[in-house]
């Protein structure tokens, strides 16, 4: 699970809310028609309360009052968790009008009891009909790549590929410890599933100067040691490595590996309603992931309403259309006693190709 950090001392007027995010990402008053579905996933006993969601809507997104979020998978517990509340609050409000579900799973991974049972989830996705399956999934959980066996990650990758070909977009939070905290053998950490070549990894930003955005220092990013760099990413990575940015020593990362994140969104100062309490100052790429996923949910809804297919695996389109996103060029993601990777023009391993701009992305749709 990726941490959501709560700072109750933060003034609530400085928060990210559905309204502020819709303005920042050029969504405005756009809502879905219910023509497609989106979902947030829940693991490690993270649940939400419907009463909390209604309280959130009443305070921060009144259009959604009375709308419900269906639960798929294992039965939820009675106490709400900040992570789950954050996920459902923001995917369902930034992506307002798109039918939203919460896919909940008990248990842990068979190869590591500290990790989430991702295979259990993705197999249910594979076994759910095209008519019933959400075509956007936001997952705010992950772990170090090294904590997952190769056989297990390869098995899950097979299911990721199947999902993409069915028109399902899979978003994963990139992580919350910059370039790393373990730093084994002096090398930066790699993340899973964010480092899978078959998902879209979402990093984090924070407010910059004059209404702009800058890299959130917590935003995990780097390169996989396990999976090779996909063709759709190679030119963008090469441009970054020769950009002249103050990139850390090449011995600390695998420059030929799959780079992550792919995109980013705001990751600090979120307000959440959890167990009846309004919590300001929630942070993490687990806030960015449902925010970006909601934009894809709206784009899917627009396409389906026009008789077109859903977007499916996003990355080839995102890297080809990076000018449609908001490029982030300031800040870095420190860790392992370094300043980490600096943001730069184009793709970078701190914020990917940038943050969403709904209006521009509509124009760039395939």
For the record, the structure tokens of 60 come out as 């921060």
Whole-angstrom distance, CA of residue 93 vs CA of residue 17: 9
CB neighbour class for 320 (10 Å; exposed up to 12, middle 13-18, buried from 19): middle
Whole-angstrom distance, CA of residue 23 vs CA of residue 122: 33
Which DSSP category does 365 fall into?
A: -
Whole-angstrom distance, CA of residue 178 vs CA of residue 349: 10
Q: Could you say which of 87, 143, 206, 213 is catalytic?
A: 87
Task: Tell me whether residue 181 is one of the annotated catalytic residues.
Answer: no
207, 177 Cβ separation under 8 angstroms: no
- Among 198, 209, 218, 238, which Cα is nearest to 348's? 238
Q: Could you say which of 4, 52, 83, 93 is catalytic?
A: 83
Question: What are the residues whose beta carbons fall under 8 Å from the beta carbon of 20, sequence distance 6 or more?
Answer: none
E strand or H helix at 302, and its extent?
Answer: helix 285-305
Task: Tell me whether residue 286 is one of the annotated catalytic residues.
Answer: yes
Task: Tell me whether residue 83 is one of the annotated catalytic residues.
Answer: yes
Whole-angstrom distance, CA of residue 236 vs CA of residue 329: 14
**3-state DSSP percent of the chain in helix, strand and coil, to 5:** 35, 20, 45
Give me the phi and psi of 59, to 5 degrees please: -85, -35
Q: Could you say which of 104, 140, 219, 286 is catalytic?
A: 286
The catalytic residues are 83, 87, 286
């Amino acid at each position: 699970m990726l941490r959501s950090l709560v700072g109750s001392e933060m003034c609530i007027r400085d928060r990210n809310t559905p309204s502020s995010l819709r303005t920042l990402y050029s969504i405005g008053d756009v809502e879905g028609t219910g023509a497609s579905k989106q979902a947030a996933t829940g693991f490690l006993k993270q649940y939400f309360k419907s009463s909390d969601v209604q309280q959130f809507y009443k305070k921060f997104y009144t259009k959604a009052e009375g709308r419900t979020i269906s639960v798929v998978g294992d039965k939820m517990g009675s106490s709400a968790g900040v992570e789950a509340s954050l996920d459902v609050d923001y995917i369902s409000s930034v992506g307002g009008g798109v039918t939203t579900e919460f896919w909940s799973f008990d248990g842990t991974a068979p190869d590591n009891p500290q990790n989430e049972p991702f295979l259990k989830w993705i197999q249910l996705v594979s076994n759910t009909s095209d008519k019933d399956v959400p075509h956007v999934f936001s997952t705010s959980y992950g772990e170090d790549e090294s904590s997952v066996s190769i056989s297990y990650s390869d098995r899950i990758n097979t299911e990721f590929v199947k999902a993409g070909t069915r028109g399902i977009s899979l978003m994963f939070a990139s992580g919350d410890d910059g370039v790393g905290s373990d730093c084994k053998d002096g090398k930066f950490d790699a993340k899973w599933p964010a480092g899978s070549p078959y998902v879209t990894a979402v990093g984090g930003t924070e407010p910059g100067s004059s209404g702009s955005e800058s890299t959130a220092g917590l935003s995990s990013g780097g390169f996989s040691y396990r999976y090779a760099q996909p063709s759709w990413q190679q030119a963008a990575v090469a441009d970054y490595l020769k950009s002249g940015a103050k990139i850390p020593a090449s011995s600390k990362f695998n420059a030929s590996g799959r780079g992550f994140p792919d995109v980013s969104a705001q990751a600090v100062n979120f307000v959440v309603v959890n167990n009846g309490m309004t919590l300001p100052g929630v942070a993490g790429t687990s806030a960015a992931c449902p925010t970006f996923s909601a934009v894809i949910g709206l784009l899917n809804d627009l396409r389906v309403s026009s008789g077109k297919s859903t977007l499916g695996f996003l990355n080839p389109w995102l890297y080809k259309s990076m000018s449609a996103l908001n490029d982030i060029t300031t800040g870095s993601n420190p860790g392992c006693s370094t300043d980490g990777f600096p943001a730069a023009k184009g793709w970078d391993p701190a914020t990917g190709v940038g943050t969403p701009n709904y209006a521009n992305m509509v124009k760039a749709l395939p």
